């Protein structure tokens, strides 16, 4: 097997495996909580425990991975922890507050602990010129896996859920025979501190719009549920994921050609237009259809660049695990706010005000991008511009020949 094929296989297995597993595990946890007699405070506590477990373990994992002699062992321990927490889904038996809290925490740790290390392996095994397109391919695989598991969760029981989680996480073990120690980390890289990363101007200029986008995004789901009901939310999410998955391929190849910044600006503008339309017609079904389309396009761009591409670019020759750990935090916070604070805000603030403010802040979020440096190498962009110029010159020559 060729090196490129081997690297692509390892990345797809490790990263797609854990994202799909966590999506299904979160759905299983929600089903356990919904089927039990927990009050709203206890439910909020479970989500908080899971969120804290994911975030804290993500930061710890980004710090610890450089203490291991090779990343392979660290990723193996992480996979085994995920399998253990999956088994615990069935072994806990009765759904007491303590049992569900433990399960929530372990689900979070099983997701966050090794995620920076696996994303760091992805960054090390790609170059800026092809990183976005590889990320787009993995993103499409993730959406296909999530769609498949979404069909299973509605008809399964706890025993079946536990078995599926264990087996699916065990699939991640297939990647390890393909990781050669020599390939895995050919040279030692400097590992910057979290504080030094947050002091980097380029990192902050990209992080600010990402935070704004994440905070604005969580509101739309709860408002959609309030206006059109849960069944429409399910259809809305399904359609949007299809659009995002398909457009991610376009975004991946585009950002590897014209650059990350231009592609991101286009995504933010599209989403800002979507929110502006909703601010005028928040209850109109056609406005929501338009928003679904532009939101899917924007998410296709933003997933590829903010999840897979940008933080590896900004790390340059340094270790990228901590960049990815900090870069993924805004999305984790958005997911947490959507199920906790979101319903409270939408019940107290009008849809017109929320969507109008969302559009305003999204347009403001584009401003830091104007000052952010392009992370795709300048040589690649110049080569594209030269190619376009040569093609135009040939057409002019043919016209007047």
Q: For the domain that residue 61 is a member of, what is the CATH number? A: 1.20.1250.20
In a domain, 185, yes or no: no
84: phi then psi, degrees, rounded to nearest 5? -65, -40
Element (H, E) at 280: helix 260-280
Give yes or no: residues 56 and 205 share one domain: no
In a domain, 184, yes or no: no
In a domain, 347, yes or no: yes
In a domain, 65, yes or no: yes
Among residues 360, 244, 359, the alpha carbon closest in space to that of 305 is found at 244
Give yes or no: residues 23 and 165 share one domain: yes
- Tell which of 119, 144, 174 closes a domain: 174
Give yes or no: residues 265 and 142 share one domain: no
Q: How many domains does the chain have?
A: 2
- Tell which of 126, 148, 174 closes a domain: 174
pLDDT confidence of residue 75: 87
As given in the structure block, the two tokens for residue 219 are 């509101």
Tokens 């029981």 sit on residue: 157
Go through 234-245 and write b for each residue having 16 or more CB atoms within 10 A of its CB, e for each that does not.
Answer: eebeeebbebbb
Give yes or no: residues 196 and 138 share one domain: no
pTM: 0.87
pLDDT confidence of residue 1: 47
Give yes or no: residues 167 and 263 share one domain: no
Give yes or no: residues 124 and 233 share one domain: no
Give yes or no: residues 210 and 265 share one domain: yes
pLDDT tens digits for the chain (401 residues)? 445 555 666 777 788 889 889 988 888 888 888 887 788 888 889 989 999 999 999 999 998 887 776 778 888 889 999 999 988 887 776 678 888 899 999 999 999 999 998 898 888 888 888 889 888 988 888 888 877 776 666 566 778 888 888 998 998 888 777 665 544 444 467 788 899 999 999 999 999 989 888 877 766 666 666 665 556 666 677 777 788 888 888 899 888 888 899 899 888 888 888 888 877 777 777 887 888 888 888 888 988 999 999 999 999 888 889 999 999 998 888 888 877 776 677 677 676 677 777 777 777 888 888 899 988 877 666 666 566 655 666 666 566 66
Count the neighbouring beta carbons within 10 Å of the beta carbon of residue 343: 16
Give yes or no: residues 37 and 158 share one domain: yes
Instruction: Check the CA dihedral 299-304-307-312 and report its sign.
Output: negative
Give yes or no: residues 259 and 356 share one domain: yes
Q: Print the domain residue range for 227.
A: 191-401
Number of H helices, E strands in the chain: 19, 0
**If DSSP codes are grouped into helix, strand and coil, which group holds residue 303?**
helix
Count the neighbouring beta carbons within 10 Å of the beta carbon of residue 13: 19
Name, in order, each residue with C-beta under 8 angstroms of 150's C-beta and a sequence gap of 6 or more.
27, 238
- What does the alpha-carbon distance between residue 204 and residue 195 come to, in Å, rounded to a whole number? 12
pLDDT confidence of residue 183: 44
Give yes or no: residues 142 and 239 share one domain: no
Phi-psi region of 47 (alpha: psi -120 to 50; beta: other; left: phi over 0): alpha
Q: Are the C-beta atoms of residues 106 and 53 closer than 8 Å to each other?
A: yes
Q: What is the CA radius of gyration of the chain?
A: 22
pLDDT confidence of residue 246: 85
- What does the alpha-carbon distance between residue 62 and residue 319 come to, in Å, rounded to a whole number? 10
In a domain, 213, yes or no: yes
Give yes or no: residues 109 and 256 share one domain: no
- Tell which of 148, 174, 200 closes a domain: 174
CA 135 to chain centre: 11
pLDDT confidence of residue 172: 85
Give yes or no: residues 140 and 214 share one domain: no
């Amino acid at each position: 097997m060729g090196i490129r094929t081997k690297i692509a296989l390892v990345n797809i297995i490790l990263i797609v495996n854990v994202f799909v597993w966590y999506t299904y595990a979160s759905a299983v946890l929600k089903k356990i909580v919904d089927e039990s007699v927990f009050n709203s405070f206890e439910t909020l506590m479970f989500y908080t425990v899971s969120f804290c477990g994911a975030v804290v373990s993500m930061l710890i994992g980004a710090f610890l991975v450089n203490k291991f002699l090779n990343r392979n062992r660290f990723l193996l321990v992480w996979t085994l922890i995920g399998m253990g927490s999956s088994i615990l889904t069935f072994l806990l038996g009765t759904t007491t507050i303590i049992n569900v809290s433990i399960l929530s925490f372990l689900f979070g740790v099983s997701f966050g602990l090794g995620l920076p290390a696996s994303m760091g392996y992805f960054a090390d095994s790609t170059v800026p010129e092809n990183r976005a397109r590889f990320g787009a391919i993995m993103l499409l695989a993730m959406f296909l896996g999530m769609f498949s598991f979404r069909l299973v969760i509605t008809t399964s029981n706890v025993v079946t859920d536990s078995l599926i989680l264990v087996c699916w996480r065990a699939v991640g073990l297939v990647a390890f025979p393909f990781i050669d120690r020599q390939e895995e980390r050919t040279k030692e890289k400097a590992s910057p501190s979290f504080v030094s990363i947050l002091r980097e101007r380029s990192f902050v200029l990209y992080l600010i719009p990402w935070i704004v986008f994440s905070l604005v995004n969580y509101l739309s789901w709860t408002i959609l549920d309030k206006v059109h009901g849960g069944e429409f939310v399910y259809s809305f999410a399904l359609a949007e994921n299809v659009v995002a998955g398909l457009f991610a391929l376009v975004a991946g190849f585009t950002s590897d050609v014209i650059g990350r910044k231009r592609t991101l600006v286009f995504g933010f503008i599209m989403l800002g237009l979507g929110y502006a339309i909703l601010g005028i017609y928040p209850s109109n079904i056609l406005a929501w259809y338009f928003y679904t389309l532009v939101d899917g396009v924007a998410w296709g761009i933003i997933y590829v660049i903010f999840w897979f591409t940008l933080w590896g670019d900004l790390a340059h020759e340094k270790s990228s695990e901590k960049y990815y750990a900090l870069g993924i935090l805004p999305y984790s916070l958005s997911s947490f706010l959507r199920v906790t604070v979101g319903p409270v805000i939408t019940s107290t603030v009008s849809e017109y005000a929320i969507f109008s403010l969302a559009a305003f802040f999204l347009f403001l979020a584009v401003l830091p991008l104007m000052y952010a440096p392009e992370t795709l190498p300048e040589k690649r962009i110049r080569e594209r511009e030269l190619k376009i110029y040569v093609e135009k010159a040939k057409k002019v020559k043919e016209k007047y020949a």
